[in-house]
Amino acid sequence: MLSNFTAAVLLTLALFTCFYINQICTHNTRLVRSVHATQNKTTAHERLVSADPVRAQSSVVEKRGVKLKTTKETDTSRDDKCTIAPESRFDCGRDKLLSQTECEERGCCYAPLPSSAGPPWCFYPGLYPGYKMGPFTPTTRGQAATLTRDTPSYLPRDISTLHQITFKVSDILCYRMAPELHAEMVCGMVTVSFLLIMNRMNTTVAPLLFADQYLQLSTALASSLVSGLGEHYTPLVLDLNWTSLTLWNRDMAPHVMLQPTPALTWVSIGGILDMLIFLGPDPQSVVRQYLQVIGYPMMPPYWSLGFHLCRWDEVRNQINAFLTLHLQDVQWNDLDYAEKRRVFTFDRWRFADLPEMVQEFHKRGMKYILILDPGISSTSPPGTYPPFEDGVKRDVFIKNATGHILIGKVWPGPTAFPDFTNPETRLWWEDCIRDFHSKVPVDGLWIVSI
């Protein structure tokens, strides 16, 4: 029995030993295969890297602990820069319509939308390259700095170096940017090209563009409540839903684009950039600072706030009817009062008693205004129309390219036009008004452009 038991135990140990050895052999084989596979993968990777120099450089740098961005990562980074809400896009193609290729050649983002109206499809990415500003340097006129652009923009005749000066007068921040700063800037001048009234600016939302015939500046706004910006028929609060306004009060009319960010972009065809920023801090202070720049309006006479009536044709019967009802304060006359529609005269037949009528108005507490066109008849017989003859002697009329008086056609027929840039013209104009007032004592003049 013992012999049989011993034999069974020995057989069991032998079998266990064989199973253990088999397991060890199998495990070692797997380890060897794993190491060999890893070596093969490493060798394959090295072959792939050797075939691609960019990836080779990336691999070497990775071993040194610095990770370069792969092409895929660069695309991802670009996607991040182009992930901008549609209402916050700033147009990269205001100068012309761009294809996707043309847009991306400018370094801008291209992302079509369902509609071509509204947000632009081609827009600036975040941190688009632009000017870098150097340190401020104190000068006799304020703080000066130089702005430089490392690479040209996409505009022709781009200006790579700009000079700016900033100074403060009272509560108005005055700012000029130009290729040169030889011209003096007076903070109280009316001829500034751009007035900005806000309590906060952020011009980093889109690049500053400054070329020979193109200026562009964008800024975020502190509020969506925007008004003003030139003459236009709109509600008091402007629509920021991708609207465009033109400031027609200048010959080279700037354009202002509004968007719901809220933000605006100001574009002009050249010149220099003058900005006045009214610091407030409240609306009353802003209005006061604005008036310091443009000048205070004339206080209107009290009678100008009364009931006015203007007529073409004989007015006496009409006036008597209104005076009976005590309804009239001021009477106006159109050009039919003038003889042959020549200013500084009155019709001796239809308005023969004009001086006496005006005196009668004054006795009744009324005022009288008549129209005065700055166009002087040039075809009156010699010795019959002093305004033209005296103007010729004093050389007050606009000339044409040949040096002769420029003649146009207005109400009196052939007409000469005073050159009010000439100081002598202003004196001549005052003399004409003074002479006519001595005959017809008007209380005001309705001066119109032609």
Do residue 154 and residue 277 come from a single domain? Answer: yes
Do residue 284 and residue 143 come from a single domain? Answer: yes
Do residue 388 and residue 425 come from a single domain? Answer: yes
CATH of the domain at 253: 2.60.40.1760
Do residue 156 and residue 287 come from a single domain? Answer: yes
Do residue 160 and residue 254 come from a single domain? Answer: yes
Strand order of the sheet with strand 376-377? 376-377, 413-416, 407-410
- Check: CB of residue 215 under 8 Å from CB of residue 87: no
Do residue 112 and residue 255 come from a single domain? Answer: no
- Print the domain residue range for 391: 302-447
Do residue 428 and residue 360 come from a single domain? Answer: yes
Tens digits of pLDDT across the chain (450 residues)? 444 434 443 334 343 444 343 443 444 333 333 333 333 333 333 333 333 333 333 333 333 333 334 444 445 556 678 999 999 999 999 888 999 999 999 999 999 999 888 999 999 998 888 898 888 888 877 888 899 998 889 999 999 998 887 777 777 778 788 887 654 555 544 333 333 444 456 778 899 999 988 999 999 998 999 988 888 888 999 999 999 999 887 777 888 999 999 999 999 987 788 888 888 888 899 889 989 888 888 888 999 998 898 876 656 666 665 665 566 789 899 998 999 999 999 998 888 889 998 998 899 889 999 999 999 999 999 999 999 999 999 999 999 999 999 999 999 999 999 999 999 999 999 999 999 999 999 999 999 876
Do residue 267 and residue 136 come from a single domain? Answer: yes
The neighbouring-strand residues paired with 276 are: 174, 195
pTM: 0.55
Helix (H) or strand (E) holding 415: strand 413-416
Do residue 209 and residue 343 come from a single domain? Answer: no
Do residue 278 and residue 138 come from a single domain? Answer: yes
Total domains present in the chain: 4
Do residue 103 and residue 165 come from a single domain? Answer: no
Amino acid at 361: F
Sign of CA dihedral 82, 87, 89, 91: positive
The Cα angle at residue 359 between residues 356 and 361, in degrees rounded to 5: 115
Do residue 32 and residue 163 come from a single domain? Answer: no
Helix (H) or strand (E) holding 413: strand 413-416
